[in-house]
Amino acid sequence: MTEDDFFFLAQLVRRRSGLILPANKARFVTGQLGPVARRFGFRSVDGLIAELRHGRESLARAVTEAMTTNESSFFRDKAAFDHFRHIVLPRLVEDRAKTKRLRIWCAACAAGQEPYSIAMLLDDAKLAAQGWSIDLIATDISAEMIARGEEGLYTHFEVQRGLAIRRLVAHFTQEGDNWRIGESLRRMVSFRQFNLLDSYGWLDDLDVVFCRNVLMYFDAKTKVSVLDKIAEILLPEGALLLGHTESVRGLSDVFVAIDDAPMLFVKGKAAAQRLTATG
Amino acid sequence: MKNCLVVDDSRVIRKVACRILQDLKFATAEAEDGLEALTACRAKMPELILLDWNMPNMNGIEFLKTLRRERDGERPIVVFCTTENDVAHITEALGAGANEYIMKPFDRGIIEAKLAEVGLA
């Protein structure tokens, strides 16, 4: 791939998804594009890029999706889920006792491991049995990942990373060498393809947003824009969970970090003080 | 440094598992079957036991049931590591006192994840 081709590709991916492709990732990019080139009938990646320059929408979408990182696992960064279970959820159950309604969004759900991990924690809390209405919305830029999440079928390797064996037996059924998520958890999650650069108008009144290991791939301007939009759709005192290398520092004045709970941020100082006080 | 006893009748599996566990800062010992493992445990109870199911002389589930009746036999964390990958076997293992379960084939990532589950990572 020529320098010019890489620059063109990086611009295209950045414009469409916000993802930054550093120049030292040329080999990775070429590797990711190989399967796309074959799928679209090109003999080489160079041929694919030549066609891409003509503005073919389906190809541009496939190339952008191929650049996303879909690495995930059940309960990835266990501490984030501990914060949700022990800090965020008890407060929400108290605050929403009258409406008995919770809305949670996984902004980049990859193949569904994160929303299903959250669903397992909600199942532990037995909220549905107590009449709670829970919207668990899972989005990803990749149509392929959304399809995988909806299918809920995971390999032997995927279910052994982050998932305790008791949870596997309780929530999955075996299909040959693979394991399928149980129907009750499957029904808890609504999957939808969504680009974080698009309008968040259809998302509103959220209690919790998981936007983990996504901001790290964006430039500062895009990070600010995404955090601003999340702040708008979160209810007052709503919670935001980021990846372990991510922070709001220097990017948002709305979100406040919680002491001793890395990865957890809440909307507004009052919410932070309340959580710290009840800690 | 914590001690791990790797119990498997396959020398290759023992070698691979020990290498991974040593990388994860465990001191390792090996046993070829349940009887040998029981002797090792009676001499010195390890913190962790990585346990195959199908072995000659004494299989993994018999070993586990016997171990849990031994003095201090409730102490070691026992992680099955076996090709018996069906729900019935997993349920039987948990009922007999296994703490976690690895379905073969495994890799370093799986061992690390399972050790994290039992608080040993």
Question: Which token pair is B44?
Answer: 């010195």
Domain range summary for chain B, segments of one domain joined by +: 2-18+29-104
Q: What is the pLDDT of residue A55?
A: 85
CATH code reported for the domain at A78-278 = 3.40.50.150
Report the residue of chain A nearest B102, measured CA to CA.
Answer: A160
Residue A1, min C-alpha distance to chain B (Å): 33
**Domain residue limits, chain A:** 3-66, 78-278
**Nearest-CB residue to B87 (from A78, A162, A174):** A174
Predicted confidence at residue A279, as pLDDT, reads 53
Q: What is the CA radius of gyration of chain A?
A: 20
Question: pLDDT tens-digit profile of B63-112?
Answer: 999 999 999 999 999 999 999 999 999 999 999 999 999 999 999 999 99
Q: Do B113 and A164 touch (CB under 8 A)?
A: no
Residues 90-109 of B with CB under 8 A from A: 90-91, 94, 100-103, 105-107, 109
Decide if B90 and A157 are in contact by the 8 Å CB cutoff. Answer: no
pLDDT of residue B121 exceeding 90, the answer is no
| CA–CA separation, A191 and A145 (whole Å) | 10
Helices (H), chain A: 3-17, 26-39, 45-52, 57-66, 78-83, 89-95, 113-124, 143-151, 165-171, 183-188, 220-233, 269-278
Per-residue pLDDT band for B22 (boundaries 50, 70, 90) equals very high
**The predicted structure's pLDDT at residue A278:** 59
- Closest-CA distance, B90 to chain A, in angstroms, reads 8
Domains A3-66 and A78-278 share a fold: no
CB B44 within 8 A of CB B73: no
Of B87, B105, B109, which is closest to A169 when you measure between CB atoms? B87
Kindly give the confidence (pLDDT) of every residue in chain A, 279 residues in length, as a single tens digit, with 9 standing for 90 and above: 888 999 999 999 999 999 999 888 888 899 999 999 999 999 999 999 999 999 889 999 999 999 988 889 999 999 999 999 999 999 999 999 999 999 999 999 999 999 999 999 999 999 999 999 999 999 999 999 999 999 999 999 999 999 999 999 999 999 999 999 999 999 999 999 999 999 999 999 999 999 999 999 999 999 999 999 999 999 999 999 999 999 999 999 999 999 889 999 999 888 888 777 655
The pLDDT value given to residue A26: 86
Does B83 contact A at CB distance below 8 Å? no
Cβ distance B94 to A174 less than 8 Å, yes or no, reads no
Q: Tell me how close the Cα of A174 comes to any Cα of chain B, in angstroms.
A: 7
HSE (CB half, 13 Å, CA atoms) of B90?
19
Contacts of B105 in chain A (CB under 8 A): 156
Closest approach of chain B CAs to the CA of A78, in angstroms?
A: 9
> Which of B94, B105, B116 is closest, CB to CB, to A165?
B94
Which site among B99, B101, B120 would you substitute to test the A interface, given the most A Cβ atoms closer than 10 Å to its Cβ?
B101
Taking the CA of residue B27 and the nearest CA in chain A, the distance in Å comes to 23
Is the CB of residue A64 less than 8 Å from the CB of residue A12? yes
Full-model pTM? 0.93
Termini Cα distance of chain A:
53
| pLDDT attached to residue A25 | 85
Which residues of chain A lie closer than 8 angstroms to B51, CB-CB? none
State residue A1's pLDDT score.
Answer: 83
Query: What CATH number does the domain located at A3-66 have?
Result: 1.10.155
Strand, helix or coil at B93? helix
Measured in angstroms, the CA of B93 and the nearest CA of chain A are apart by 11
In this complex, do B109 and A161 lie within 8 Å of one another by their Cβ atoms?
Answer: yes
Q: Which among B90, B100, B110 is the nearest to A157, CB-wise?
A: B110
CATH topology of domain B2-18+29-104: Rossmann fold (3.40.50)
Judged by CB atoms closer than 8 Å, whether chains meet at A174 and B109 is answered as no
pLDDT score recorded for residue A271: 85
Q: Model ipTM?
A: 0.95
| Other CB atoms within 10 Å distance of the CB of residue A118 | 27
